Amino acid sequence: MGILEEMAVFFDPEDLIAEFEAMTRDAERVQKETLKRILEENGGTEYLKKWGLLGKTDQESFKACIPLVTHEDLEPYINRIVDGDDSPILTGKPITTISLSSGTTRGMPKFVPFNDELMESTMQIYKTSYSFRNREFPVGNGKCLQFIYGSRQFKTKGGLAAGTATTNVYRNPLFKKTMKAMQTPCCSPDEVIFGPDFHQSLYCHLLCGLILREEVQVISSTFAHSIVHAFRTFEQFWEELCTDIREGVLSSRISVPSIRTAMSKLLKPNPELADLIYKKCQGLSNWYGLIPELFPNTRYIYGIMTGSMEPYLTKLRHYAGVLPLLSADYGSSEGWIGANVNPKLPPESATFAVLPNIGYFEFIPLHQTLDGLEAKPVGLTEVKVGEDYEVVVTSFAGLYRYRLGDVVKVKGFHNSTPELQFICRRNLLLTINIDKNTEKDLQLAVEAASQVLAENMLEVVDFTSRVDSSTEPGHYVIFWEMSGDASDDILEQCCNCLDKSFLDAGYVSSRKVKAIGALELRIVKRGTFHKILDHYVGLGAAVSQFKTPRCVGPSNTRVLQILCNNVVKSYFSTAF
């Protein structure tokens, strides 16, 4: 057993917290040491040589020599690695694994280098947040009902293993060992997690959880969306699941042989359990409190619930009843940033303490200088409480001064490391004239308009937006999928409310002088957003990583086509 395996299997939560406290008390020193390690390991690479770093490892030389970059700047180097060039291009050691991003931001997945150091930081983040979480919400030796899905791995042109970031983690033996060390092994066998058909895997996740319902102590997924989707699916198939349990025979809808074989080892006739579940489902009012009814020993529900996941929290709370929702940690396909060490905070207020030893971090202040230029990045310990920043990452996997595109607010400090609140993606903007509406602005507008639906016992299942520049002037288009049918009068009210809820001064003034046209609300058929999910899965994305794109750009032609082909009603605002 290697060092990493030993770390994964054996750890004391209180010891880990003590290490974290010591490290964050001197975050500036740890950052300097971390950058030095990265540059010593990779100083001989083509990329760092190109910029004339000449083996220097101090922060000042690094910032003076190495430019800020986006993924597009590094793409030519990454593509050479993908195609089999194993020379030291970005890292001293050869990259053996490639991660694929979800692709929802720009419409297609990105290739990102993945290595043992990233896996190590993943385990560190998992164990750190677990240690703080277990202080507040201790679990015994139980099971975790995890709605996780490993997409297929494939070989690149150069023979490297490639898969989504979550798949690369789930397939690593350290993941399973770490989950076991955290006393919450997954209910489902690997054949279900790595099944080739997402719908069949989801059905079997639910079935595994029901069979082991008394042992389930945690419900989780990478994203809140996946948990909500799982229990929406349960609403459709609960009677069929009960039949499977009663008769001990797996539904014919499960056709993958490996899944059927694995499930046959778990599924035995159990009419008493089937009757119990059946009665509980019949006794629920509108499925409120479904999760604790099905899984009575559940301590909490866990997953990423910030950013684009916040719109799903209302429905998740409906299913959760009195159970607490705990937001998981902050990271991306490129690597991890911070751990949730304040698990009692509600997801909307969740903050993430940056681990200063897993990468070198800089932050670009989101205010312009007096001459109108972008402000210079500041270091980890130089950020100011209450200010917004874009995150810049230097990682052990060959990303140097890489602009992550995430906007965060500094909410405070844990010792000397900042606690960040995720705000939005910087490049997801609705803009036509002088208006600048972010993903968060869109979310708040939809929440406001959703209150009109809530008064009529309806809800928004999912939503996205686009800018339509084919008209003069251009206008915002909001797509809604709803839980049921609403009258034209109600939807016209919703449309007006959406328009009035964009409070950006540039938008309001532009609407008043008709420099931006009337907002358009388009209602799409039920299942439209599931078609979008299927589209991304078809591109190689993992369901575990899927995030609904909140702003669909003109280059994302297939998603626009899916949306436009499924529109059933359209309304224009008369608010201005």
**Type and span of the H or E element at 458:** none
Between 207 and 286, whose confidence is greater? 207
Residues 52-64 have a mean pLDDT of 88
Report helix, strand or coil for 568: strand
Phi-psi region of 255 (alpha: psi -120 to 50; beta: other; left: phi over 0): alpha
CB atoms within 10 A of CB 269: 13
Gap between the Cα atoms of 396 and 38, Å rounded: 6
Number of residues assigned to the chain? 576
Q: pTM score, two decimals?
A: 0.78
Token pair of 303 as six digits: 């997953």
Which residue carries 């909500």 as its tokens?
A: 228
Q: Which CA distances in Å does 519 have to 47, 459, 495, 499?
A: 47, 20, 7, 6
Residues 343-378: pLDDT tens digits?
999 998 899 999 999 999 999 998 765 555 778 899
Gap between the Cα atoms of 124 and 16, Å rounded: 9
Gap between the Cα atoms of 344 and 201, Å rounded: 31
Q: What is the mean pLDDT of the chain?
A: 85
141 alpha carbon, distance to own chain's centre: 27
Quote the DSSP letter at residue 159: S
Spatial CA neighbour of 185 closest among 195, 198, 170: 170
Gap between the Cα atoms of 31 and 57, Å rounded: 12
Give percent above pLDDT 70 in the chain.
Answer: 91
Contact by Cβ (8 Å): 192, 201: yes
Between 7 and 305, whose confidence is greater? 305
Gap between the Cα atoms of 491 and 325, Å rounded: 31
Q: Which CA distances in Å does 367 have to 311, 336, 390?
A: 28, 25, 11
Strand positions, DSSP E, 328-380:
330-332, 335-339, 352-354, 360-365, 378-379
Between 76 and 150, whose confidence is greater? 76
Quote the DSSP letter at residue 324: P
65 alpha carbon, distance to own chain's centre: 33
pLDDT at 8: 45
Task: Give the model's confidence band at 208: pLDDT under 50 very low, under 70 low, under 90 confident, else very high.
Answer: very high
Q: Quote the longest CA-to-CA distance of the chain.
A: 74
Task: Give the model's confidence band at 242: pLDDT under 50 very low, under 70 low, under 90 confident, else very high.
Answer: very high
